[in-house]
Amino acid sequence: MNLVTNIVITWYAVYIAYAIEQLKAEGHPVNDEDLSYQWPTKFASINVHGKISFNIDEELKRKGLRPLRKPDGC
């Protein structure tokens, strides 16, 4: 289970970096000091005591990262 949890945490770290770069590219101010308070283990969806499920076939077909979701109203 530790291996899967570490993979999920790494995946979150990649997407945090991707989201930050996207925000910068869109011209949003990103304060580097604020980024020091973000970390990939700060998500309720990381469950070290339960089941983690994902569609491996679907993920392997994808080229590159998934597109980021836009919040409602954007």
Kindly report whether the global pTM for this prediction surpasses the value 0.85: no
Average pLDDT of adjacent 10-residue blocks, the chain of 74 residues: 80 88 93 84 65 76 81 66
How many folded domains does the chain comprise? 1
| Cα–Cα separations (whole angstroms), residue 16 to 19, 29, 56, 61 | 5, 16, 21, 22
Structural domain includes residue 10: yes
Q: Which residue range is the domain that position 17 belongs to?
A: 1-28
* Domain-embedded: residue 43: no
- Residue 3 in any domain: the answer is yes
Which two three-digit tokens encode residue 65? 């990262």
Residue 2 lies in a domain: yes
Query: In this structure, is residue 66 part of a structural domain?
Result: no
pLDDT, position 28:
93
Domain-located, residue 70: no
Q: Is there a domain that residue 8 lies in?
A: yes
So what's the pLDDT on residue 30?
92
Residue at 19 is within a domain = yes
